[in-house]
Structure 1
Amino acid sequence: MLFYQKHLVKFTSAFLFCLTLLPSLTKADGPKDNIPDEVRRIPALGVEVPAEQKQQLEQGLAKLKTSLDQLKKSKDARIKALIPDVEIYYRAVWSALEYQEFFHEREIGTGLNLLKQGQERADQLLKGEAPWTQQTGLVVRGYISKIDQTVQPYGLVIPDNYTFSGKSEYRCDLWFHGRGERLSEVNFINQQQRSRGQYTPANTIVLHPYGRYSNAFKFAGEIDVLEALESTKQNYRIDDDRISVRGFSMGGAACWQFAVHYADRWFAANPGAGFS
């Protein structure tokens, strides 16, 4: 009888635990996601933007677009090459407003702040200045995708001892972010300007690719990684023999993928908890 009671308790506990998982399972990908009319929208629609803030966003976007149009008329090759560093702010906020991807009220304020930052860069570049290109620490930059000609952001951690006029080359670690259904270009850029991330080895440039939302850095996300790395190598002195890949969870899966498919490009790979 005692043996039976012990196993009954174990079975009951396991059953109750499974019941606690049901709410999360109903939100996870499942059979319904194979039916076009019932597939779960990812990301979910964000909050409604109040009329006053929407007007502020639209005005900021219009002003920044005017500046971008002026920059694109420049015949200066250096200025034209740096336009993506400005345009990432415009695209991030425009996309969030256009597709209702401000997922929390506070993100609207973040969007307004990013427009100010983008406008500041635009005003500097119109004067022929680009101080962010000589900045250590956290820097967000952009490039034009060869896939669809869209501007794509990426984050960098530039070590404090990096010398912009020197000749020595630096190690570069790529960090692949994990899955987040409320990730957006607004949130990505904001995070890359505020947090150094999980790993910041000494004397190392850390590259954080965006990778087109949360697709495990596959398809367009895969090409984005390669293009972000190429852009980084064009702007900073990277040692080709000391480039590594790291990531955790979905980022770990991406790390496995790049370690296997592009094995000759990395001196090390450090995947964590990623499916292979």
Structure 2
Amino acid sequence: MHVRTIFAIFFLHLLVAAACADGPADNLPDNVRRIPKLGIEVPADVRQALSDESGKLEQEIARLREREDASTRSLLPDVEIYAKAVRDALVYQEFFEPREINTARELLAEGQKRAEQLLAGEPLWPNQRGLVVRGYVSRIDGSVQPYGLVVPESYRPGGNDRFRLDIWFHGRGETLSEANFISQRRRQPGQFTPPGTIVLHPYGRYSNAFKFAGEVDVLEALESVQSRYRVDEDRTAVRGFSMGGAACWQFAVHYADRWFAANPGAGFAETPEFLKIFQQETLAPTWYEQKLWQLYDCTGYARNLLDCPTVAYSGELDAQKQAAD
């Protein structure tokens, strides 16, 4: 089996429900599903209207980029994420349902609102509690990347107390465009919101199981949050379910010294077990494939969990229970 095929399966189809598993047939180049699927056709008049509104926001962003003050520069990514999300959805045909067109309108309106606040020197969202979407500029490619936050009501700007932070890794979502991710994070607090805790929802560069660029996205998003909020680095935890559970295993064993606890839900932790049990493949890996698997397979690093209290959970009939066992 070609090593590229292995990586395509591993990073694009990792940890999904059994009904969504593609199986060995997906190894055939002519049979590989397009992920994400091609979205719906947006009517020409609607597309033009969205492009016009997006253009207005881009003009405001251009005005903000001309400013040299530190505050504007640090907050500008919080505006740019809205323009980029809609622009990418238009360019790459990532509207998957008609209702997502209204989502795009809402995102452009929010981006415009933030731009106007920043131009007036009165940004409100940095001190907002509850659900907050923010952004940062990635060192990988210079792109702006979004992340979601749940900021507890007890958080007060200018205080001295530091807050626990939990990172929640999302599960696989084949239609989780940046626009849909931002929309979710504006509306949904997520599965787990402990009292007095900041919850970070990283995007992870779509659904690549938080590997490679997705892994860096988590670390950069965390760095951004730590620079903007009073985070207690001794009380930072990782959690997630399914594909997010796999990410939790990965971050727990590779960065055990950074977390006070890990709580993976389901999620495979080893490539060969995933391919055999979930993809139902017969494996005959080359030596270099086995070597490359070790980059993210968790069993070789499991000893690190001695430094990271870990509580795993799974459905008793879920094949992904294998990792916890």
TM-score (norm 1): 0.89
CA separation in 2, counterparts of 1:185 and 1:29? 24
Structure 2 residue 199 is the aligned partner of structure 1 residue 206:
yes
Residue 34 of structure 1: CA displacement? Answer: 3.3
Task: Return the offset for 1:29.
Answer: 2.6
Query: Residue 12 of structure 1 aligns with which residue?
Result: none
Q: Which residue of 2 aligns with 1:104?
A: 97
Q: 1:169 aligns with which of 149, 154, 162?
A: 162
Pairing partner for 1:43 from 24, 36, 47: 36
| 1:196 lines up with 2:189 in the alignment | yes
Q: Which of residues 44, 58, 67 in structure 2 aligns to 1:65?
A: 58
Task: Note the 1:70-109 alignment, pairs <5 A.
Answer: 70-109=63-102
Are 1:179 and 2:167 counterparts? Answer: no
Give 2:66's aligned amino acid: K
Matching residue of 1:261: 254
Output the amino acid matched with 1:123: E
What letter is aligned with 2:78?
A: D
C-alpha change, 1:191 and 1:25, in structure 2 (3 Å) is closer
1:135 corresponds in structure 2 to 128
Q: d(CA) in 1 for partners of 2:37 and 2:165?
A: 35
TM value normalised by structure 2: 0.76
Q: Percent identity?
A: 64
State the Cα RMSD in Å.
1.4
Q: Which residue of 1 aligns with 2:240?
A: 247
Residues 176-230 of structure 1: per-residue CA shift (max 9 Å, x gap): 0000111111111011010111111011000000001111101100000000000
Show the counterpart of 2:143. Answer: 150
Deviation of the 1:32 alpha carbon = 4.5
In structure 1, how many angstroms separate the alpha carbons of the residues matched to 2:236 and 2:160? Answer: 17
Instruction: Give secondary structure in 2 for the equivalent of 1:208.
Output: strand
CA shift, 1:26, in A, is 9.5
Shift of 1:28: 4.0
Q: Distance in 2 between matches of 1:28 and 1:257?
A: 21
Higher RCO (CA < 8 A, seq sep 6+)? 2
Q: In structure 1, the residue corresponding to 2:31 is in which secondary structure? A: coil
AA paired with 2:167? Answer: L
For residues 35 and 82 of structure 1, the distance between their equivalents in structure 2, rounded to whole angstroms, comes to: 46
What is the deviation of 1:61? 1.0
Partner residue, 2:283: none
Aligned length: 253
1:112 counterpart SS class? helix
The alignment partner of 2:62 has SS state of helix
Once residues 71 and 191 of structure 1 are traced to their aligned partners in structure 2, the CA distance between those partners, rounded to angstroms, is 27
Name the larger-Rg structure. Answer: 1
CA distance in 1, matches of 2:236, 2:108: 33
Unaligned runs of 5+ in 1: 1-23
